[in-house]
Structure 1
Amino acid sequence: MPKIYIILVLFFISSFAFAQSLQVSGKITDEKGDPLIGASVIEKGTNNGTTANGNGAYSLSVTYSNATLIVTYVGYNKIEKEINGASTLNFALSDATILSQVTVVGSRNLNRSSTDTPVPVDVIDIREITTKQGQLDVNQLLQFAAPSFNSNRQTGSDGADHVDPASLRGLGPDQTLVLINGKRRHQSSLVNLFGTRGRGNTGTDLNAIPAAAIERIEILRDGAAAQYGSDAIAGVINIVLKESVNQLTANVNAGIFKAKYRFDDKKYDGLNYNVNLNYGLAIAKKGFINVTADYNFRDHTNRANSVASESDLARRRFGDPKINNAAVYYNAKIPIGRRIQVYSFGGFNERKGDAYAWTRFPDDDRNIPSVYPDGFDPLITSKISDRAVTAGIRGVWKSWDIDLSNTYGFNKFHFGVENSLNRSLGELSQTSFDAGGFQLAQNVSNLNVTRFYKGIMEGLNVAFGGELRTERYKIFAGERPSYYNYNPEFPGGSQGFPGYSPTDATSKSRSNVGAYADVEADLTKQFLIDAAVRFESYSDFGSTLNGKVGLRYKVTDALAIRGAVSTGFRAPSLAQKYFNSTFTNFVNGEAVEVLLANNNSAVTKALGIPKLKQETSQNASLGFTFTPASRLSITVDGYYVKVKNRVVLTGQFSDDDDEIGDLLKTLRVGKAQFFTNALSYTTTKGVDIIVAHSAPVGMGRLSTTFAANFNWMDLGPVNTSPKLAGKEDIYFDDRERRFVLASAPPSKVNLTFDYTVDKFSVMLRIIRFGEVRLTNWDYEVDTYKSRVQSDVTLNYRLTKQFSLSVGGSNILNVYPDKSSPALTESGGSWDPVQMGYNGAFFFTRLGFRF
């Protein structure tokens, strides 16, 4: 074992030895003074806690004299109090009302916490992690905070350069459902075509939601289609917006990458900076409106390999795109009497970016030397508009909690091309183009009805409801020079990214209606069972019925076993059904025109490709939670997910194919590919392990967390049409199989030490990414060996109003293994794997709170 790991393990163990504490005791009762037996008491910011005994009494050793205690009990309002050095502290909890109940993803019980659900739920405090790490957007924050979450920035991937694909447990981005305040979030209109993550999938653009607007993020690591609807095969991410009032918070963040591989002599590039403001205003007695404004800028990085000769290069510009990202979000609730409230939340995001496309060198037949004597590097520009709004009313009628809402979401992706030309226009060609784009609109009407029965068994929660969802997808054409060929002797359209033509344009819609029922019962104080069933009917895919059963058994006060089995369903997105385009791909450094034909095209009909059908899944999980000491918790959860008829993007059929070769030549394209249910099944097996410990050490407190994900994926046989029998290696070849298998590293291990002394804290984080293997254009395996990244952050609270953080991510400037740029998917020395290819990032952050 390397010395650094020995030292860290010893440091972890030593934290037990220096424990010092302050004893606090008291009694927990209801408003009438009756004891609340089993009420939970937790020291805030730690896993240190206890429960009240038969008389409602508790006793707890805390770390600091100013520690804050959180007291909860099913059916009652949560209370937080700072002890202020007191050794005795009593709590009187009031009955929960509609305005104070909190929904935790994974349970319909409005009074249940994330720690006692039958399935694993991670709750990530955004304020805590934004203070301790340099990442500024939600995808990158979660990439380094949650081991089962994976998101890599990509380059040379067209639209995916501007919208980072993300996934849970190595499954597809479209197999994770995203909620905001418990309501379904719309997906991006983008379908990912290139890169190693999310190939052929649509996903949700998490970076459209500013981190400064978020209170916490809940990640349900289990299949939940029966509870929340289709797409929740891998799990659910619930983003909870801030509700704070009478407090202004502001942050100024800045960071820059240390450049190791560049053509020029620049030592640093990729400047990032962020400015955000958040303020909440109280309305009436318990109402509020909380508003966030956020601006984030990210400049280009360039990691084209300066060591290689030009003949070895596919690109002179290879790195992050430039992004300008602005957003305004709000969250509001207004009470109408004691038992009714109206609420609304949402916001808009505007993003402009430009990303490097593949280089056209001076002697390239796609270049015009009189226009670009040195060749040119096209820029693919984007203008992304994203907006969403939810409005609803919630009330209590005869103990039934009724929630009626409507959510509208819209995402538009408009492409442009700069520093380019249309070769078929010759020297008269313009150099900038409007390339068209696509958009997706979604409307969801939702009714949820819930009731909690305290007197049945040890507590029974009943929930049911329905949902109506409509979606519309459009592709709109670019200007004529962006796609048209004016001279058949030369390639037409804008180089770097050919625009969408009128033949690509489409407008399609569908609707979906669903209904669910959910029963959750504490049969005894030790045994919880949860059962859910959901029916859905799509206008284009028919009906489905899915179920889930979850169990949690408390063996002792310290040990609980939990598990679940469920089925799932995902209808192919409208983009997967109807997207079509002609684009330029590079195979062994050579440009090839590729047709991506939709499921109803002449090409797919000529090959006998069947209509897309839904994916179905079977999920199972089993694990335990163990608290052997007051400041130590251990959770281990194994999982199994089998997805049948998985939708993927096929390999590329060439114009010499005996079935469609002549057709492709007529269409003036060299290759064609399409979306199909190519994989008969995939099976993903894995385990999540989280160990958390907190204890006094010296004059401060040390919090130590070990979090790891290990996963294994197998791919089943390839489904082909009769006309393509024997062509499975083209239909879904080894390159495509490797892309699916590389959706996540086979392991990701995160070891974090967070030490706090009064106003000062230091965080050390070490992350190990497992080995990733991809197949290059020569159909040889590129191996990206395991890598370890080290992060350090120092934080000092200057006053109650000001705090300063400085630090670095990947401070040892570690990169993945290099590959040949001409043979990789990205055209650079690295595909977007593991921790990425940008190297060390150094940052500073100034926080204000008034």
Structure 2
Amino acid sequence: MARSRIWMALSAAIFGLGSTLGTTPLHAQTAAPQGDRTSDKATELEGIVVLGSRRYDRSSETETPVPVDVLPMGKAAEQGASFDLAQTLEYAAPSFISGRQTGADNADSVDSAALRGLGSDQTLVLVNGKRLHSSALVNLFGARNRGNTGADLNTIPMLAIDNVEILRDGAAAQYGSDAIAGVINIALKRKLGCEAVVGYGQYTRGDGENYLGSGYCGFAVGNQGVIALTGEYLDRGRSNRATAADPLRIIGDTAVKNGTFYANGDIPFGDSAHFYFNAGIQNRDASSAAFARGGIGSDDIPSRNSAAMYPGGFVPFIDPYIQDRHASAGIWWNWNDWRVDASQTFGYNKLNDTIRHTLNASIANYDLEHGGTGISPDHFYAGGFSFSQATTNLDFSRFFDGFMQGANVAFGGEFRRENYQIFAGEPGSYIDMDGPGGGNAGSQGFPGFQPGDATDKSRNSWAVYGDVEIDWTDRFMTDQAVRHERYSDFGSTTIGKLAGAFRVTDQFLLRGSFSTGFRAPSLQQRYFSSTFTDFVSGQPVDVVLAPNGGTIARAAGIPDLKEEKSRNATLGFTWKPTDALSVTLDGYRIDIDDRIVLSGRFDTSDPDIGAILEQLGVGEAQFFVNSVDTRTQGLDLTISHAMDLGDGRLESFLGFNRSITEVKRVHTPASLVGREDSLLGERDRLFIENGAPHSKAVLGFDYTFGAWETDLKVIYFGPMTLGTFSGPPVPNARYASKTSADVSLTYNFNANAKLTIGGQNIFDQFPTRQDPDETDNGFIYDAVQFGLNGASWFARFAYKF
């Protein structure tokens, strides 16, 4: 019934858009050049961009043969309800998913981002067209993105961004590994002048306060060059939605403090050469609450608590300190009608964990058994991990106007070196002081990395590519690309892509593509190693995540990781019947073979590794494995419209994504036949297939009249089904579809100053209640769809000078 009402509302909104169509002349939606403030309107999709093409002379009449969304960030940075990039895109682009986790350890501090319901490591992120490094974090918990690692979009301040381009098509043949689901390019701003934004917000329940201060300045240098500098401070307060039934629990937003600085520049020299660069630095202090431990009278004493330290129970806090660095510099010049681009990019991400308001129960119990009061240190350095990536590119491109209606030829090469490290924590964070049967080893909340976990692994890869775009007629064009890439740790692959566009009429463009792709296993997936505490059906269980190729993985029969291989097909159209209306519809299918996933749990009853686990003092083990083939099918629909209404102007937008992922086959190594449920059980399969809602829609209306601007956005998330710890006969966790809305009102004092106030999730929506013993975060609300915080309000003031 609820779903019917939602679709009736969406249908009525679409009908309303159609009823307002005017007779204004036809025009094409284009993305404004960097720094052009005319682009800071409502969301613009299907703009004219370089993303997905190697052609540098694209005119305003040229359109891409594959679907590309262009989202200007000027308005979002000045007036938006969300203060970070990932959450802003979550409520703007239907194919984009970024779920803020809670109760998921370090994943609470790094928002993952992905396209079309796939994993974040299957989406490639670029900054100014150059590869952005991924986070060092591997997501181990949370309702989605489990076992994945991806780029952290929130390391880039929104005020530094001109627009975000989302290529919704497989593009590994053009850009390399990770571009199976698509590519996100963050185009930084180079605009003269200065501006500042301050913001404040909080949830209507009085917590989760957000403070934002951001400033940008663009300076003219040299021969019409520009250097742009952006600084930002963001303070996001903790929220807590725990109920009276669980008074010890803290469940909600992680507390986060970000200090970020970004620079972006372009300096021409000579007649036909440019030096360009961008660099960013961010330091992030975060604090997330782990599961609560019981006090006197509970089973947690002496195993996980000490009566002398926390007689009433306690909540440990996982406090990561994250350092992120990014820099890219290059030169492009013209040489005999060829455009040559040489660049070097470096990225680094490091996370160090401190566990506080905690104890090592084995130390406390040892102290008690030897005449003490039962005391342990209450904070520990638990170690951490880092990832670095250095990428060298050399690209050539030239347009030949003498072949057919014109052809662009591009080729080039790339060399990339990556390094992954794990650092051991201090001994107190992992040691077992009193031996078996007493207090559990390690810091409660998150045991530290042990010396045996420490690693320092590197690899390199090189690639060559060729790309040819041909305008066969003034109505038909194709793009052909091929890429060969070789990795030092698992071998090589050759992939290709063919895309085409045919203008049936001046208003209707038919387009499609077919490509093969791949994704290399990340170093994080190959070498991550840790022992942690999970809560299964409300009970704590120590789990070891054993590295691929290690002793435990070998004993369990887990094969070495290899690359994922994909096939991607897209077919769709764009239609612009009037100057005011634009419609696009694209269907797609993505087949991935040998997809890398986090396995199910192997316990002490396993015939091969049960004895090893007992010796380690842990109850279960997990591994990364190329265990499944999946198929993702779906469609993307966008409708945008603009019209004069009364004394103002109304801009409307509807975006809808439908995406269904199915596990088509499970690869079971010969040594694991009969233990398929341990390799990939029902619960783990549902994380792959239902980690994101199958449907998502965004309906927006922006009305400007005089000095005032109103914005209404309706957001729909489809239903989800996730597994339970107990499994059959306990039914799966079903989450009903949910619809919410964001509203804001902006007053422009003058051309340079504006104030915005508004609300987010104003209907105070929450996911469907569940049995807390069966959810991933042990709470009645899991962190899916809108999350579990409810309604919020915000205010922003923006000033240009």
> Structure 2 length normalisation: TM-score?
0.93
Match of 1:428, SS state, is: coil
Q: Does 1:390 align with 2:324?
A: no
Deviation string 1:671-721 (CA, Å, 9 cap, x unpaired) is 011100111x10000000001111111111111111000011110222122
**Contact 2:653–2:700 (8 Å) recurs in 1:** yes
- Tell me the amino acid that sits aligned with residue 179 of structure 1: L
Distance 1:538 1:4, change over 3 A: closer
- Tell me the amino acid that sits aligned with residue 288 of structure 2: A
Query: Which residue of structure 1 lines up, in the alignment, with residue 652 of structure 2?
Result: 704
**Contact 1:738–1:773 (8 Å) recurs in 2:** yes
Query: Which residue of structure 1 lines up, in the alignment, with residue 370 of structure 2?
Result: none
**Contact 1:70–1:78 (8 Å) recurs in 2:** no
Match of 2:207, SS state, is: strand
Query: Which residue of structure 1 lines up, in the alignment, with residue 665 of structure 2?
Result: 717
Deviation string 1:476-523 (CA, Å, 9 cap, x unpaired) is 001110011101122110000000011100000000000000000111
Distance 1:79 1:753, change over 3 A: closer
Query: Which residue of structure 2 lines up, in the alignment, with residue 763 of structure 1?
Result: 711
- Tell me the amino acid that sits aligned with residue 799 of structure 1: N
Distance 1:187 1:71, change over 3 A: closer
Deviation string 1:513-568 (CA, Å, 9 cap, x unpaired) is 00000000111110010000001000011111010000000001000000000000
Q: Does 1:117 align with 2:64?
A: yes
Match of 1:605 among 537, 545, 554: 554
**Contact 2:35–2:162 (8 Å) recurs in 1:** no
Query: Structure 2: how far apart are the matches of 1:832 and 1:296?
Result: 22
Query: Structure 2: how far apart are the matches of 1:829 and 1:335?
Result: 58
Match of 2:243 among 271, 280, 305: 305
1:268-417 residue pairs with structure 2 within 5 A? 268-306=206-244, 309-310=245-246, 316-362=249-295, 363=298, 364-365=300-301, 366-417=304-355
Q: Does 1:744 align with 2:682?
A: no
Unaligned runs of 5+ in 2: 39-47, 365-373
Query: Which residue of structure 1 lines up, in the alignment, with residue 199 of structure 2?
Result: 253
Query: Structure 1: how far apart are the matches of 2:37 and 2:760?
Result: 35
Of 513-522 and 336-345, the range deviating more from structure 2: 336-345
Match of 2:589 among 627, 636, 640: 640
Match of 1:533 among 482, 486, 499: 482
- Tell me the amino acid that sits aligned with residue 419 of structure 1: H
Query: Which residue of structure 2 lines up, in the alignment, with residue 43 of structure 1?
Result: none
Deviation string 1:322-381 (CA, Å, 9 cap, x unpaired) is 000111001111111111111111110100000000000112231112111210000000
Match of 1:729, SS state, is: helix
Query: Which residue of structure 2 lines up, in the alignment, with residue 591 of structure 1?
Result: 540
Q: Does 1:107 align with 2:56?
A: no
Of 691-700 and 4-13, the range deviating more from structure 2: 4-13
Distance 1:842 1:661, change over 3 A: same
Match of 1:373, SS state, is: coil
Query: Structure 2: how far apart are the matches of 1:78 and 1:189?
Result: 31
Deviation string 1:434-486 (CA, Å, 9 cap, x unpaired) is 00000011100000111112333222111100000000100000111001110
Match of 1:844, SS state, is: strand
**Contact 2:35–2:191 (8 Å) recurs in 1:** no
Query: Which residue of structure 2 lines up, in the alignment, with residue 659 of structure 1?
Result: 608
Query: Which residue of structure 1 lines up, in the alignment, with residue 371 of structure 2?
Result: none
**Contact 1:709–1:749 (8 Å) recurs in 2:** yes
Query: Structure 2: how far apart are the matches of 1:81 and 1:824?
Result: 46
1:107-256 residue pairs with structure 2 within 5 A? 107-112=53-58, 116-245=63-192, 247-256=193-202
Give, in angstroms, the shift of residue 16 of structure 1.
3.0
Distance 1:677 1:661, change over 3 A: same
Deviation string 1:389-419 (CA, Å, 9 cap, x unpaired) is 1111110011110000001110001111010
Match of 1:518 among 454, 467, 473: 467
Match of 2:775 among 810, 821, 824: 824
**Contact 1:618–1:641 (8 Å) recurs in 2:** yes
Give, in angstroms, the shift of residue 628 of structure 1.
1.0
**Contact 1:15–1:696 (8 Å) recurs in 2:** no
Give, in angstroms, the shift of residue 630 of structure 1.
1.3
Give, in angstroms, the shift of residue 11 of structure 1.
4.2
Query: Structure 2: how far apart are the matches of 1:224 and 1:71?
Result: 21
Match of 2:758 among 807, 813, 817: 807
Query: Which residue of structure 2 lines up, in the alignment, with residue 833 of structure 1?
Result: 784
- Tell me the amino acid that sits aligned with residue 254 of structure 2: P
**Contact 1:437–1:475 (8 Å) recurs in 2:** yes
Give, in angstroms, the shift of residue 833 of structure 1.
0.9
Match of 2:622 among 673, 685, 690: 673
**Contact 2:200–2:212 (8 Å) recurs in 1:** yes
Query: Which residue of structure 1 lines up, in the alignment, with residue 42 of structure 2?
Result: none
The CA RMSD over aligned residues, in Å, is 1.9
Query: Structure 1: how far apart are the matches of 2:142 and 2:122?
Result: 18
Query: Which residue of structure 2 lines up, in the alignment, with residue 27 of structure 1?
Result: none
Query: Structure 1: how far apart are the matches of 2:718 and 2:139?
Result: 24
- Tell me the amino acid that sits aligned with residue 723 of structure 2: T
Give, in angstroms, the shift of residue 79 of structure 1.
12
- Tell me the amino acid that sits aligned with residue 464 of structure 1: F
Match of 1:477 among 424, 438, 446: 424
Match of 1:507 among 435, 456, 466: 456
Match of 1:717, SS state, is: strand
- Tell me the amino acid that sits aligned with residue 748 of structure 2: R
Query: Which residue of structure 2 lines up, in the alignment, with residue 843 of structure 1?
Result: 794
Query: Structure 1: how far apart are the matches of 2:188 and 2:37?
Result: 23
**Contact 2:35–2:189 (8 Å) recurs in 1:** no
1:479-498 residue pairs with structure 2 within 5 A? 479-488=426-435, 489-498=438-447
**Contact 1:70–1:79 (8 Å) recurs in 2:** no
Query: Structure 2: how far apart are the matches of 1:719 and 1:699?
Result: 63
**Contact 1:166–1:197 (8 Å) recurs in 2:** no
Query: Structure 1: how far apart are the matches of 2:88 and 2:30?
Result: 26
Query: Which residue of structure 2 lines up, in the alignment, with residue 44 of structure 1?
Result: none
**Contact 2:512–2:571 (8 Å) recurs in 1:** yes
Match of 2:674 among 726, 740, 748: 726
Query: Structure 2: how far apart are the matches of 1:333 and 1:5?
Result: 44
Give, in angstroms, the shift of residue 723 of structure 1.
2.1
**Contact 1:104–1:113 (8 Å) recurs in 2:** no
Give, in angstroms, the shift of residue 804 of structure 1.
0.8
Distance 1:640 1:70, change over 3 A: closer
Match of 1:347, SS state, is: strand
Query: Structure 2: how far apart are the matches of 1:531 and 1:9?
Result: 37
Query: Structure 2: how far apart are the matches of 1:518 and 1:495?
Result: 54
Distance 1:80 1:135, change over 3 A: closer
